[in-house]
Amino acid sequence: MKVPKRFGIWGNTEKSAFWELLPDIISWTEEKNLEVHLTTRIRDNMEDPQTFSYQVIESAEDFFKLDFLLTLGGDGTMLSLARAVGDRNVPILGIHLGELGFLAAVNVDQMFEKLDQVVAGDYLVQPRIVLKSTVYNGGKSSTFFALNDMVIDGGKSHRMLVYELQANNHVIANYKADGLIVSTPTGSTAYSLAAGGPIVVPTMRTMIVTPICPHSLTLRPIVIPDDQVLKISFPSDHDDGIALAVDGQICEELGSSSKVEIQAADYTINMIGFPGSNYFRTLRKKMGWGRRGDM
């Protein structure tokens, strides 16, 4: 793999652990003769911005200058970075500073070992599909992108929704449910899993459709190829509100005449992995997958 010469840091500046680690990371970059770039948010929250030498990521276009991005935080930090990077193809290495954390696979105690591997070119780039959602709402259209999931629910009303789901203009089903989750394989271990959806290996190219508390025993999650276009419409009045949540971080209020189209985006997010890594071992370690009782 490409041996990097410059990289960027994207971090959760509200975590004290981030500020504790930053000086050590900067010292490491000096030892390795790497050029480091910091976001404006990091620079603006530093006690003394002149402590060391660095470049500033002023806009998303500056990502093109970088060989990889290092993110320090939880899954939310990784999701926000993925949206910022968009289609610029910069690989991301996630360092986990939170409680559970599934997207950022590297723990702090492994950080410099894994960074040394990246600098040596001993790493893998794993493409992850991204969802593109086009919302037609009140005569206007908006587009959103998600690495984890798109969730449609009753918003502030908390009422049951009635909606129709199509794939490539073929009706899948008409639902009465609390909502609908469309997730990527990366997001299959998030809200979709909690709602009864399957675990899907994150490098696969599929979309997972999981109804939220459907008012029927026959409506179950379904895995759909990523070449399909999903269409969601609402044949009944929902004047009390409908909402679309993008990766749990962006919310769009919809009307009952709205229509939502979800499909795979024409780009992927590239995550850095390592030879010998094992997704199923991660499932067992972080989620207790396959464990029986106290065994």
C-alpha to C-alpha distances, 206 to 92, 130, 184, 200, 264, nearest whole angstrom? 21, 10, 7, 9, 8
Give the whole-angstrom CA distance, residue 209 versus residue 182. Answer: 5
**Of 189, 207, 186, 198, nearest to 261 (Cα)?**
207
Cβ density class 103-118: b for 16+ within 10 Å, e for less: bbbbeeeebeebbebb
CB neighbourhood size of 37 (10 A): 20
CB neighbourhood size of 274 (10 A): 17
Give the whole-angstrom CA distance, residue 82 versus residue 61. Answer: 14
Catalytic residue (one of 62, 75, 87, 178): 75
226 in catalytic set: no
Q: Which residues are catalytic?
A: 75
